[in-house]
Amino acid sequence: MIKAGFIFDLDGVIVDTAGYHYLAWKKLADELGIPFSEEDNERFKGVSRIRCLEILLELGNIEVSKEQFDLWLQEKNEDYLSYIAKMDETEILPDVVKVLDYLKDRKISMALGSASKNARSILEKVKLIPYFNTMVDGNAVSKAKPDPEVFIKAAESLSIAAKHCVVFEDAQAGIEAANVAGMKSVGIGNSDVLSKADYNFKDFTEIDFDFLDDLLSELDGKS
């Protein structure tokens, strides 16, 4: 059996839910009179929901009670849920299924490692649950990326040592987390932003089976 664990981030890697997060944050920002652009939303990628609201309130120079903070968190999430309720398989990013099928055929252990507390319901919507041996999401961790907790828990749950694992990530904080965990990292997206990744691809259409075979031998060969 090949000793390798593949860990995938969700938003920006498997599906592009960043657009829905943006719409929900933008609605709240408008209500609060805080200017919020798609550029500002870049800072929210891979970041926990709580931290996102903290950043938004910093942008608006607004201080609030814990009760109000929690109400806004809830409001944003309810809006976000109304968008993801309509998701289906067509929203899986190009060639992701090609890669997952290739790994599944080789019986490679796969995990989800996402900051989202909605990760399970999104994977259900897009019908990808059967590919994953384990799912570690925002409900299972107390420290957000770049802390490596999410990926360390995923590797533990797969019973595969960190050095045999690789992480696919679209956020800088996620690449840092993978590197700190002692795992290989694959950056999906802008290679200038993700320059600390071991490998970079614009998206999964650039990932071929030769690359996956080489990666599998490299991970398996680690003593």
Q: Look at residues 159, 158, 180, 157 and name the one whose alpha carbon lies nearest to residue 169.
A: 180
152 binds ligand B16 (CB under 6 A): no
12 binds Mg ion (CB under 5 A): yes
Contact partners, residue 128, CB within 8 Å, separation at least 6: 14, 92, 97, 100
11 binds Mg ion (CB under 5 A): yes
36 binds ligand B16 (CB under 6 A): no
Q: How many residues in the chain?
A: 223
In three-state form (DSSP H/G/I as H, E/B as E, the rest C), the secondary structure along 82-120 is HHHCCCCHHHECCCHHHHHHHHHHCCCEEEEECCCCCHH
Tokens of 24: 């929900």
18 secondary structure, DSSP code: H
Concerning whether 203 is annotated as a catalytic residue, the answer is no
Q: Which of Mg ion, ligand B16, none sits in contact with 116, Cβ below 5 to 8 A by type?
A: ligand B16
9 binds ligand B16 (CB under 6 A): yes
Q: Residue 150 or 216: which CB sits closer to ligand B16?
A: 150
* Size of residue set near Mg ion by CB under 5 A: 6
Q: Residue 26 or 216: which CB sits closer to ligand B16?
A: 26
Concerning whether 70 is annotated as a catalytic residue, the answer is no
Q: CB count, 10 Å around CB of 133?
A: 16
Q: Residue 12 or 187: which CB sits closer to ligand B16?
A: 12
Applying the rule CB under 6 A, the residues between 80 and 119 that interact with ligand B16 are: 114-118
Distance from CA of residue 124 to its chain's centroid? 16
Residues 44 and 21 sit within 8 Å (Cβ to Cβ): yes
185 binds ligand B16 (CB under 6 A): no
* Size of residue set near ligand B16 by CB under 6 A: 20
Tokens of 141: 């961790």
27 binds ligand B16 (CB under 6 A): no
Burial class (CB in 10 A: 0-12, 13-18, 19+), 136: buried
12 binds ligand B16 (CB under 6 A): yes
47 binds ligand B16 (CB under 6 A): yes
Q: Residue 6 or 44: which CB sits closer to ligand B16?
A: 44
Q: Residue 13 or 212: which CB sits closer to Mg ion?
A: 13
Residue 66: CB minimum distance to Mg ion, A: 27
Contact partners, residue 118, CB within 8 Å, separation at least 6: 77, 80, 81, 84, 137, 138
Residues that bind ligand B16 (CB under 6 A): 9-12, 21, 44-49, 52, 77, 114-118, 138, 171
Binding positions for Mg ion, rule: CB under 5 A? 9, 11-12, 46, 170-171
